[in-house]
Chain A
Amino acid sequence: MDISNPAALVNAELLHFYVGSRVRVVMQVVRSDGVVIGKSTDEKQLVVKGSPPPAPHTTYVEVYGAEIWTNFGDAIDMDSYNKLCQLANGEFKHLFL
């Protein structure tokens, strides 16, 4: 069991708290050529340096530490996810980090 490297669930706003450590973000892919541009769940723009998987990806993608990309489908509830990020970093932080 290893809890030395937790990845925080973030949206764009919370991202700057975790500069330098691992995070996971779900975002809507806007453009991907060399560098992926996405729209985060709180309507802000995110730039991810790294390569998305070669397989065709869906509209929504989760990036885990900028290395692992998971397709999340074409229709997710951004609002719920956004609230989840806020709760996971606020009130319920002790459950996660």
Chain B
Amino acid sequence: MTNTSNSLSFSLSRVSKMFSGSQFDATTAFSGGGFTSSQPSTLNDSSPAPSNSRETPGLVPVTVKQISEASQSGDEKSNFVINGVDLNNVTLVGMMFEKVERNTDVSFVLDDGTGRIKCRRWINEAFDTKEMEAVMNDMYVRVYGHLKSFQGVKQLVAFSVRHVH
């Protein structure tokens, strides 16, 4: 777990510097080190979005509690809004439970201490199967995915699930 601790301490020092003092730094700090290649403090700087002229953050670290509080912006778009910011792609760290493997997909529940969210990983190719075989119940994983609402229930469509060391 040293990697997580290192990125945690890095994030914490950023929070204490408080160069923006807003919630989004906290979000970065508490998601197991939001030092992914996408910009952690994206939501304060104007990050260039290559395809749209709108400023949409690339990847946002969140907690399940934040997702549960997110509202949807409009019926057709089905974009989720957290703290006034549109978000699509999110990353979470949590413990995996109830992993169920099927032919076309693998579903599991992710528990990050603030809540539990159902996740689903579609199996399209061998790589997907391999990645999901490497993770098991009661294991801490980092999930990258897309928020979706299904019959009123928020779910996560994951495109990457990896064990946290």
A1-B154 CB under 8 A given contacts A76-B2, A91-B26, A97-B114: yes
Per DSSP, are chain A's interface residues mostly helix, strand or loop, or mixed? mixed
B1 touches A24 (CB 8 A): no
Q: Which of B5, B12, B63, B116 contacts A2 (CB 8 A)?
A: B116
Q: Which residues in A have some Cβ–Cβ distance to B below 8 Å? A: 1-9, 24, 60, 64, 68, 70, 72-73, 75-77, 79-81, 83-84, 87-88, 91-92, 95-97
Residues of B with Cβ closer than 8 Å to A? Answer: 1-2, 5-6, 8-9, 12, 15, 23, 26-27, 29-30, 63-68, 95, 113-118, 138, 140, 153-155
Chain A residues contacting B15 (CB-CB under 8 Å) are: 87
In the assembled complex, 12 residue pairs joining A and B whose CB atoms fall closer than 8 Å, in A order, are A1-B67, A2-B115, A3-B65, A24-B113, A76-B5, A77-B5, A80-B5, A84-B30, A87-B12, A87-B15, A92-B23, A97-B114
Verify B26–A95 contact, CB threshold 8 A. yes
CB atoms of A96 and B65 under 8 A apart: yes
Q: Are A3 and B116 in contact (CB under 8 A)?
A: yes
